[in-house]
């Protein structure tokens, strides 16, 4: 069963640049509340789950909570310097459903996680993908706190991990006092194997990092693709569309931001198609570089072919006022409203993608309409709003666990 939190989908958001004292005055002071956020994915490698974790951690920290983030980290110099991050082991790339997950699978990581929990006691332990090895799984196993799990994974076919391990995971799932799914696609994936009550709270963004005000014109005809370069993200579909786009929109360029196993093949493919001079492979971007990248683009292209639970990069681009053209997979359909804040095309259809891109680039009125709609949609996903819903889950979970925290008591009293 899932309940959709009303405030997660309505209205705008307060600037994340407000002084901490103002944030606490408006949203409540969480001073004294200790929150640990655990990710199973390498914290030094960009990805949607880690962006979610860092954004939520910053919002809780602004409200006065004592926060730490823990997870594997292969590149310690790439970790955020504005958050208390505790590296737990390293990671290895694991192929999963057409993607690559950087996970810490060494069993010793589990014991390291146990030591982290002893050194950093917390009131709320917020586990992202709690059944994915090893940090999240071990944290749930060894936790003595109130445990909340957020589920991000979405698979259009049965998830083999849950299928194989459900006899073990169902008893372990009873240690979760609260459960969150970031989308209906993620909810369907987990609930068929781990039934129970889930709150539906989408991914959030730090709105003011990306929204610098209305876009008055689209600028140069630059397309932007931001993702790990792997087959299911749809870069090859976009490259197949480029000859048609180039023939109809003179001067169009494509910026490809990210890295991954598909890069060499994609470069060769662009050369074979005769569009290599119009495609720039920029490599991975730092977190601080993304807002300007989004605002410098006329159109953000997200042609992922499937297995997307949400699409956080879509919301980031929309917050920057950049219209999105996305493949109509289940996760992206939950975010993009065709003709209102972006355009949807059939997954894998290069012809439809080319037509949508040309239509948008050649119609300034449509571009302006979608740019304005994109910014309006993105405001619904500000962490300054969504964190309220997460805190309500924390408060309800604490009651179920028989715990009481002053910072959460007032929240629960309002329910």
Which residue in this structure is represented by tokens 């899932």? 2
Which is higher by pLDDT, 7 or 351? 351
Tell me if residue 323 falls in helix, strand or coil.
coil
Q: Which DSSP string corresponds to 291-315? A: HHHHHT-SEEEE---S--S--HHHH
* C-beta separation of 55 from 204 below 8 A: yes
Q: Are both 231 and 89 inside the same structural domain? A: no
Q: Are both 67 and 189 inside the same structural domain? A: yes
Q: Are both 27 and 175 inside the same structural domain? A: yes
Q: Tokens at residue 129, please?
A: 């993908």
Task: Flag whether pLDDT at 8 surpasses 50.
Answer: no
Average pLDDT over residues 315-326: 97
Considering Cα of 201, then 203, then 207, then 211, what sign does the dihedral take? negative
Q: Are both 169 and 238 inside the same structural domain? A: no
**pLDDT of res. 163:** 65
* C-beta separation of 150 from 126 below 8 A: yes
Residue 67 to residues 70, 172, 175, Cα–Cα distance (Å): 10, 25, 21
Q: Which of 175, 190, 206 is nearest to 53 (CA)?
A: 206
Q: Are both 141 and 288 inside the same structural domain? A: no
Q: Are both 162 and 275 inside the same structural domain? A: no
**pLDDT of res. 162:** 62
Residue 275 domain boundaries? 208-379
Question: How far is it, in rounded angstroms, from Cα 264 to Cα 229?
Answer: 10
Q: Are both 221 and 312 inside the same structural domain? A: yes
Question: How far is it, in rounded angstroms, from Cα 318 to Cα 125?
Answer: 31
Q: Give the count of domains, the chain.
A: 2
Could you report the per-residue pLDDT of 145-191, keeping only the tens digit for each?
Answer: 999 999 998 876 655 666 666 777 888 899 999 999 998 888 988 88
Q: Are both 214 and 311 inside the same structural domain? A: yes
**pLDDT of res. 9:** 25
Tell me if residue 100 falls in helix, strand or coil.
strand
**pLDDT of res. 6:** 36
Q: Are both 318 and 339 inside the same structural domain? A: yes
Residue 313 sits in a domain whose CATH number is 3.40.50.2000
Q: Are both 288 and 273 inside the same structural domain? A: yes
Q: Are both 188 and 268 inside the same structural domain? A: no
Average pLDDT over residues 202-206: 94
Q: Is 120 left (phi over 0), alpha (psi -120 to 50) or beta?
A: beta
Q: Which of 331, 66, 32 is nearest to 181 (CA)?
A: 331
Q: Give the confidence band of 311 by pLDDT, cuts at 50, 70, 90.
A: confident
Q: Are both 158 and 278 inside the same structural domain? A: no
Could you report the per-residue pLDDT of 244-290, keeping only the tens digit for each?
Answer: 999 999 999 999 999 989 999 999 999 999 999 999 999 998 888 99
Q: What is the DSSP letter of 130?
A: T
Task: Flag whether pLDDT at 135 surpasses 90.
Answer: yes
């Amino acid at each position: 069963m899932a309940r959709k939190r009303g405030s997660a989908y309505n209205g705008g958001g307060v600037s994340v640049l407000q002084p901490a004292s103002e944030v606490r005055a408006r949203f409540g002071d969480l001073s004294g509340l200790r929150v640990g956020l655990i990710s199973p994915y390498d914290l030094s490698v960009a990805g949607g789950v880690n962006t979610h974790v860092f954004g939520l951690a910053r919002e809780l920290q602004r409200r006065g909570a004592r926060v730490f983030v823990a997870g594997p980290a292969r590149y310690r110099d790439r970790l955020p310097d504005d958050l208390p991050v505790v590296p737990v082991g390293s990671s290895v790339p694991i192929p999963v459903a057409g993607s690559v997950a950087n996970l810490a699978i060494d069993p010793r990581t589990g014991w390291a996680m146990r030591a982290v929990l002893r050194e950093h006691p917390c009131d709320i332990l917020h586990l992202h993908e709690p059944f994915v090895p090893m940090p999240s799984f071990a944290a749930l196993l060894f936790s003595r706190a109130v445990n909340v799990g957020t589920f991000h994974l979405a698979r259009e076919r049965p998830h083999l991990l849950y299928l194989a391990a459900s006899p073990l995971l169902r008893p372990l799932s009873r240690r979760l006092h609260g459960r969150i799914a970031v989308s209906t696609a993620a909810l369907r994936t987990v609930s068929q194997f781990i039934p129970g009550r889930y709150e539906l709270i989408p991914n959030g963004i730090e709105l003011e990092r990306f929204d610098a005000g209305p876009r008055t014109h689209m600028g140069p005809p630059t397309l932007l693709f931001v993702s790990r370069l792997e087959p299911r993200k749809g870069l090859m579909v976009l490259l197949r569309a480029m000859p048609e786009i180039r023939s109809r929109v003179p001067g169009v360029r494509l910026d490809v931001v990210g890295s991954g196993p598909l890069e060499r093949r994609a470069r060769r493919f662009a050369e074979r198609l005769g569009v290599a001079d119009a495609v720039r492979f920029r490599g991975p971007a730092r977190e601080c570089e993304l807002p300007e990248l989004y605002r410098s683009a006329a159109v953000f292209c997200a042609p992922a072919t499937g297995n997307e639970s949400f699409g956080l990069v879509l919301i980031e681009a929309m917050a920057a006022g950049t219209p999105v053209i996305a493949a109509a997979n289940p996760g992206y359909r939950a975010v993009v409203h065709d003709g209102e804040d972006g355009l949807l095309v059939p997954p894998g259809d290069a012809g439809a993608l080319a037509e949508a891109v040309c239509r948008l680039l050649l119609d300034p009125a449509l571009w302006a309409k979608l740019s304005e709609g994109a910014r309006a949609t993105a405001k619904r996903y500000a962490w300054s709003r969504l964190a309220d819903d997460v805190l309500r889950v924390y408060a309800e979970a604490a009651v179920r666990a028989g715990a009481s925290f002053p910072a959460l008591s007032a929240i629960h009293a309002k329910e």
